[in-house]
Amino acid sequence: MEGKKPLDGRIQIQGSKNAALPILAACMLIPGLCVLNNCPDITDIECMCSLLKSTGAVINTVAADTKTTTQTGNRIEINTCSVRGNRLPERYVSAMRSSVIMMGAMLGRLGEVYVNYPGGCVIGERPIDLHLYGLEKLGAQIWIEGNHIHAYADELKGAVIDFPFSSVGATQNIILAAVTARGTTVIKNAAREPEITELCKFLNRAGACIDYSGTMLKTGRIVIQGVELSKLHGVTYDIISDRIVAGTYLFAALAAGGEITLENIPIRQLDSICDTIKGMGAVIAVDEVRNELAIDASDRDKIVNLSYIQTDVYPDFPTDLQSPLLVAACMAKGKLVVREKIFSSRFRIVEELQRMGAEISIEGDTAVVTGGRELEGRTVIARELRGGAALVIAGLCASGITTVADSGYIRRGYQDIVGDFAGLGAHIRYVD
């Protein structure tokens, strides 16, 4: 890409990866046909579909008709009536951390699962102890040998599961296992991310009995009354749009300048992101009727750094947008201190940004960015999904040509980042 060109135009936000993945896993529990609209066309979703197929599920993927609907990506039809296989192939499990949530669904459906330790982005230590603790509390027996995990349950039984801290994946895994467990499960300190709400909504539409509403956002408490597997039925569901992709494009506009409008956005989920962006001097206008959000970051003199931002669980600033924030901070005036509270190695992008001329220092979980330095185009290497997207943003801000190598990581979560930015007027293209 050739940078230093402000962004301008409108962009449609894709369906949410982090909502679609657990909902696809949930289809494993439902002995019927489920239809998911607005699924993002990304490699993590392909990977989850491959996992489902490996168990005997029949999957049909149809491109969304963008002329007649506001939906993007694909409609995915999943029929798990004939699933039998309980061994998840290592090549898919190692490719994606989210594969671990198949454990809860498979225990609920088949009572047994063989899986290896999951892979995923290299953003720091990502243990699964909370997942295993919760499944054991529900009555699963778990054997671990080297990299291999074998879990078995004659019958899952409801229990009180009190997580020491909140984990999105562990909460999803336990919800999936508890849906057909005998009796009542109470999850305390459950994660409160919107993707949890989406999973619960989907499962309730399919016949589950989950109380996640009311005060849940305050208390982090979810109560699940187990139902018979035969009571669950197929359902059609629209995947919400992706708050992290929306945030990525907002930070791109903040960093590169210009005026863009995002269509099809999850407005209510963007509060902390919009607060940060407004605090940094851009103008944000929300149109709730049309479900659109516009950002104007064209007056560059007004773009300044806040003094301190820390990532935290929802509704606070999301760790997934910490790398795009770093790039925007490089382009703003003043100093920003960023503390990463969720993942230990999420500053891997910093080395690449420094090679482009950024002034960033790291101490432990904290980065200090001194903004206002010119970035210069280089060949940089993507090492994980969100960091990779942030390097593309850096390229849009830099003088000269930037090439992002290993951009396959970005395809895990962004349908077409190159096409999206090209549509906003950026000089950007794929190279072989």
Which of 195, 257 has the CB closer to ligand UD1? 195
Give the list of residues 6+ apart from residue 361 with CB closer than 8 angstroms, or none: 367, 368
**Has 121 been annotated as catalytic?**
yes
Please state, as a whole number, how many other Cβ atoms lie within 10 Å of the Cβ of residue 412: 21
Which residue's Cβ has the minimum distance to ligand UD1? 169
**Min separation Cβ 272 and ligand UD1, Å:** 12
Q: Which of 39, 49, 121, 274 is catalytic?
A: 121
Rounded Cα distance, 23 and 40, in Å: 13
Which of 21, 428 has the CB closer to ligand UD1? 21
**Min separation Cβ 128 and ligand UD1, Å:** 5
User: Where along the sequence are the contacts to ligand UD1 (CB under 6 A)?
Assistant: 18, 21, 97-98, 125-131, 167-170, 191, 195, 319-320, 342-343
Give the list of residues 6+ apart from residue 330 with CB closer than 8 angstroms, or none: 255, 353, 358, 359, 360, 369, 371, 373, 375, 394, 397
Which of 1, 216 has the CB closer to ligand UD1? 216
SS3 call for 266:
coil
**Min separation Cβ 373 and ligand UD1, Å:** 28
Instruction: Tell me if 128 sits within 8 A of 197, measured CB to CB.
Output: no
**Min separation Cβ 265 and ligand UD1, Å:** 18
Residue 268: burial class (beta carbons within 10 Å; 0-12, 13-18, 19+): exposed
Rounded Cα distance, 309 and 134, in Å: 32
Encoding tokens for residue 74?
A: 């694909």
Which of 18, 248 has the CB closer to ligand UD1? 18
Which of 113, 426 has the CB closer to ligand UD1? 113
Residue 193: burial class (beta carbons within 10 Å; 0-12, 13-18, 19+): buried
SS3 call for 243:
helix
Rounded Cα distance, 42 and 73, in Å: 9
Q: Any idea which residues carry the catalytic annotation?
A: 121
